[in-house]
Amino acid sequence: MLKSKVLLPSDGSDNSLKAAAYASRLMAMNPKLKLSIIVVVPERDNLTEIDMAVEEKGQEIMDRTLQEFSKKSLDVEKYIEKGDPATVILEYAERGNYDHIIMGSRGASELRGAAIGSVSHKVIHLANCRVTLVK
């Protein structure tokens, strides 16, 4: 089996959770695969209550995504970051030398109220590594 370093962005949508299930199956088949989950929450302008609510929502999304891996006792790294989702995902993939991004193809983001389609579209076209979209 090949070594692989995989980045799994999650926004809590059904398709991102399906991407997590797909990634967990890959991990179960390839013990050398290293996976990092990233949840990107929008930045706010120092509105403490809103910031706290957004961070709590980000943690809820992370916890839901982690369920797929914990039930199979798979170890993953996890990150919650702030900013524009596509930009943060692309920067993380580049900086962390990831060779694969697995993400949901479309779905209503619980954090942004918008389709992830534009995020996945940007990532596909701008990533310097392989990208797998899951429906």
Cα dihedral angle (36, 86, 20, 7), rounded to 10 degrees? Answer: -30
pLDDT at 117: 56
pLDDT at 57 > cutoff 70: yes
Percent of the chain residues past pLDDT 70, beyond the cut: 85
Cβ-based neighbour number of residue 32 at 10 Å: 10
Walk me through the domains of the chain, giving residue ranges and CATH numbers. 4-134 (3.40.50.620)
Cβ-based neighbour number of residue 46 at 10 Å: 7
Cβ-based neighbour number of residue 128 at 10 Å: 11
Sequence-separated (6 or more) residues with CB below 8 Å from residue 24: 68, 69, 72, 74
pLDDT at 114 > cutoff 50: no
Sequence-separated (6 or more) residues with CB below 8 Å from residue 23: 6, 8, 35, 68, 102
Instruction: Tell if the pTM clears 0.85, that is, is over it.
Output: yes
pLDDT at 105: 87
pLDDT digits (tens, 9 = 90+) for 11-41: 999 999 999 999 999 999 998 999 999 999 9
